[in-house]
């Protein structure tokens, strides 16, 4: 490990978190949504965080210009700032993230939704929340796998929350995210198994650069669809993109 690089970058990341805290307090009563000042500040903050981590973003495909329900594969906690650096999006995240010191509070303030997986009524509440934001012309991003993976393949997509797209008539936007490195997934990227958040952060800070590829795939009309079929279509698109990426490398 390059401890000098980790320490130097870590200090800047910590300072950046303090900036987020200060801004959140200043904007305590402001609404964070697409087009708002709070939303623009959130995008700027995520962009700056990517630079501090040495992340190089490579964006492919047609980005949506209307509110959509985005569905993405899930590899790392860094998926959220990477995707959030492109535009203001309401993320649906696991409830544990909301309990992380400082980060959890900031996530709540910036419009993140949370789901307590396995808890009674949690899925219904999350569906109501997603439906509400979509009906207010706000884009929402969910990770239908329900967990992070090693990035080499895609787990089965759970379909329940896709009902929100059907109910509100918005399109489903599949998004494939990957961390390519020498023809494979970057070993420091997956946030899986017994890796702690601190270990993951330190591992990423130790890397001089890290590439993140975000591929926007053809949108899928939600209106009049069947949620299981829609989930299968999105899963298939993303899996093919991930497999093609690593076969090309």
CA angle 124, 40, 167 (to 5 degrees): 25
Distance, in Å, from the CA atom of 141 to the CA atom of 69, rounded to the nearest integer, reads 6
Relative to beta strand 69-72, strand 140-142 is: parallel
Number of domains in the chain: 1
Cα–Cα distance list, 37 to 32, 33, 45, 80, 213 (Å) = 7, 8, 12, 20, 27
pLDDT of residue 24: 86
pLDDT of residue 248: 55
Which residues form the domain of 58? 3-248
Q: The domain that contains 123 carries what CATH number?
A: 3.40.1130
The runs of H, that is alpha helices, within 27-162 are 37-52, 79-84, 103-109, 122-135
Q: Is the pLDDT of residue 249 over 60?
A: no
Structure tokens at 155: 């787990």
pLDDT of residue 209: 95
Q: What is the mean pLDDT of residues 153-168?
A: 95
Provide the mean pLDDT of the chain: 92
Q: What is the mean pLDDT of residues 87-112?
A: 83
The runs of H, that is alpha helices, within the chain are 3-26, 37-52, 79-84, 103-109, 122-135, 163-168, 197-205, 227-248
Residues 6+ apart with CB under 8 A from 104: 97, 98
pLDDT of residue 148: 95
pLDDT of residue 140: 96
Helices 37-52 & 3-26 angle (0-180, nearest 10): 170
Structure tokens at 141: 């991003």
């Amino acid at each position: 490990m390059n401890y000098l690089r980790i320490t130097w970058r870590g200090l800047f990341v910590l300072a950046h978190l303090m900036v987020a805290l200060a801004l959140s307090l200043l904007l305590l009563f402001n609404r964070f949504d697409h087009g708002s000042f709070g939303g623009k500040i959130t995008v700027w903050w995520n962009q700056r965080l990517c630079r501090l981590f040495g992340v190089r973003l490579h964006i492919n495909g047609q980005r949506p210009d209307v509110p959509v329900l985005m569905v993405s594969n899930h590899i790392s906690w860094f998926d959220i700032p990477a995707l959030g650096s492109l535009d203001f999006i309401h993320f649906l995240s696991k409830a544990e993230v909301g309990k992380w010191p400082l980060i959890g509070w900031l996530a709540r303030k910036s419009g993140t939704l949370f789901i307590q997986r396995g808890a009674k009524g949690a899925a219904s509440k999350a569906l109501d929340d997603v439906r509400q934001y979509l009906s207010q012309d706000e884009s929402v991003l969910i990770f239908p796998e329900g967990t992070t993976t090693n990035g080499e393949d895609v787990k089965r997509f759970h379909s329940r929350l896709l009902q929100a797209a059907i109910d509100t008539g918005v399109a489903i936007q599949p998004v494939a995210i990957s961390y390519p490195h020498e023809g494979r997934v970057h070993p420091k990227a997956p946030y899986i198994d017994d890796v702690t958040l601190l270990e993951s952060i330190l591992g990423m800070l130790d890397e001089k650069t890290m590439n993140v590829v975000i591929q926007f795939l053809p949108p899928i009309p939600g209106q009049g669809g069947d949620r299981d079929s829609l989930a299968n279509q999105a899963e298939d698109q993303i899996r093919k993109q991930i497999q093609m990426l690593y076969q090309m490398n």
